[in-house]
Amino acid sequence: MPSSAFRRTALAAAALALPVSWVARAAWGLPTALGAHPHQLRPTVTGSPQFAGGRFHNRMETPVLPPASARRGLLRQMHDQRHVGLPAGPVPLARPELPEEAGELAVTWFGHSSALLEIDGARVLVDPVWGERVSPSPLIGPTRLHPVPVPFEALPQVDAVLISHDHYDHLDLPTVRKIVREQAAVFVVPLGIGVHLRRWGVPADRVVEMDWDQSTTVGPLTLTCTEARHFSGRFFSRNTTLWSSWVIAGPRHRVFFGGDTGYTPAFAEIGARLGPFDLTLMPIGAYNEAWKAMHMDPEEAVRAHGDLGGRMLLPVHWATFNLAFHRWAEPVERLLAAAGASGTRIVIPLPGQRIDVLDAPPLSDWWSTVGSAAGRPDEEPGRPAPVSSRPEHRRE
């Protein structure tokens, strides 16, 4: 019979093994997910006018960190308000009806910044994220607030995949691997991101890297890498790859994809040179005073849309991941007010809904039914409803 000392030792070893096992699982695949090392990036990025002193820079001053006076308040927000961005109920999903042949001008929004564009008979997939967690770790980091509306394997073949920058909520390793297996499309990316892709097994002939103001053609489309005001980095190294917005121009229609950006006067220049645009996809969520220079709020998104000469605005970068401290529905509520004041035409699809831009449906308020967890009168501010009280996600 084991001695009491032996049992104590065995119990202690078992107790220690649990956290060690959890840490090992949390770190599984971490080196690969981080992407290429800065030294591997240097040959590709060094010649860019945006690259100096070992990193990329915005063309206008853009502080990465909030002022010292604001940091204590930001830390308090992270502790006290981390649950504010949750929805109060399930986010409804649509079953996309994707035609065999691409349309003249249509968009299917899958949530956050992921969308499928149909322009003049060609298809472009932008910032596709099908992963459950936007993080290098399978156990740590923001998880989805709603399921993916459609399995990746159900997508039709696309002509190009556009990536705006290397943050995990825009460049997702599991999705990249799905694209390599399921699609034949070329990846069109800002400088440096191609090095990540090649390290992850994307064939070199399926990668096109570009600097701001450079263009390439894919089928009938001209894809132009345009300026954005943001930053990059998948771990401690910051700004080793470029970030961008994109112009997708066909023979008859033009679309602007904002990616992830703060407001910049460059939008007016882009609009004058490459616009006007039949559709703009503009980020409206994850804003905060602490990082105002790098993330637009809804009012700035409407202003940028006007600068670009946009005809219809579709909001992205909201609803799918809890990345800031505003209420879940607040971005779209503020967008509606700003658009109403300026006369801006907007469309707000359900995740998974396909919109024919040339025959857009009237607005249907689906977000108010979902509500924001922080806005529920029966909940303590900043606290989510218990998970067990939330009904299953439904499809429209």
Nearest-Å Rg of the Cα atoms of the chain is: 22
pLDDT for 382:
34
Q: How far is CA 395 from CA 87, 94, 143, 148, in A?
A: 16, 5, 20, 11
The pLDDT assigned to 106 comes to 98
* Residue 123, in any domain of the structure: yes
Give, for 196, the enclosing helix (H) or strand (E): helix 193-199
Burial-class residue 314 by CB neighbours within 10 Å (0-12, 13-18, 19+). Answer: buried
Q: In this structure, is residue 9 part of a structural domain? A: no
pLDDT of res. 79 = 47
163 dihedral zone (left: phi>0; alpha: psi -120 to 50; beta): beta
Whether residue 280 lies inside any domain: the answer is yes
* Angle between helical axes of 266-274 and 298-308 (0-180°, round to 10): 30
What per-residue confidence (pLDDT) applies to 289? 87
184: buried, middle or exposed (CB in 10 Å: 19+, 13-18, 0-12)?
exposed
| pLDDT of the residue at 11 | 47
* Phi, psi for residue 148 in degrees, rounded to 5: -65, 130
Closest Cα to residue 170, out of 210, 110, 222, 120? 110
Residue 30 lies in a domain: no
Q: What is the CATH number of the domain that holds 305?
A: 3.60.15.10
Looking at residue 311, its pLDDT comes to 98
pLDDT average per 10 residues of sequence, the chain (396 residues): 52 48 47 89 95 96 63 47 86 94 98 98 98 89 95 97 98 98 98 97 98 98 98 90 98 98 98 98 94 95 98 98 94 98 98 98 96 60 32 52
Domain count, the chain: 1
154 assigned to some structural domain: yes
pLDDT of residue 395: 60
User: Which pTM value belongs to this model?
Assistant: 0.88
In a domain, 52, yes or no: no
Q: Domain for residue 323, yes or no?
A: yes
User: What range does the domain containing 355 cover?
Assistant: 105-389
64 inside domain: no
Three-state helix/strand/coil letters over 119-188: ECCEEEEECCCCCCECCCCCCCCCECCCCCCCCHHHCCCCCEEECCCCCCCCCCHHHHHHHHHHCCCEEE
pLDDT for 155? 97
